[in-house]
Amino acid sequence: NAGVTQTPKFQVLKTGQSMTLQCAQDMNHNSMYWYRQDPGMGLRLIYYSASEGTTDKGEVPNGYNVSRLNKREFSLRLESAAPSQTSVYFCASNSGQAPRNEQFFGPGTRLTVL
């Protein structure tokens, strides 16, 4: 099992460019999440998908779009990147099964917008 995988690991964009961050999980989990992590701000939820075919906004959705392509894959798109979107992005998944309500995280994508 690879768990949660993310591509790319690093990316540098210019303001106004677009890109898609890819995430896949092989644990047959229903829920998937996109977070951003900034110094002093902790993990903030951008979007989540409780099940295949559904997506909902989190705390900081502006400037992002998501697609739950199938049960395994959940992508995050930046249509027109801004310097404020410089951050580390984490994807996570959750089975929602007892005994632990555990979210499994990917290794992260470090994005710099110039």
Partner 1 sequence: QKEVEQDPGPLSVPEGAIVSLNCTYSNSAFQYFMWYRQYSRKGPELLMYTYSSGNKEDGRFTAQVDKSSKYISLFIRDSQPSDSATYLCAMSANFGNEKLTFGTGTRLTIIP
The binding site for partner 1 (CB under 8 A) comprises 4, 30-31, 33, 40-45, 48, 50-51, 58, 90, 92, 94, 96, 98-103, 105-108
Alpha carbon 64 to its chain's center: 10
DSSP 102: P
Minimum Å gap between C-beta 80 and partner 1 is: 27
Minimum Å gap between C-beta 8 and partner 1 is: 15
Separation CA 105–CA 90 (nearest Å): 7
Separation CA 71–CA 67 (nearest Å): 11
Nearer residue to partner 1 within complex by CB, 51 or 84: 51
Minimum Å gap between C-beta 96 and partner 1 is: 4
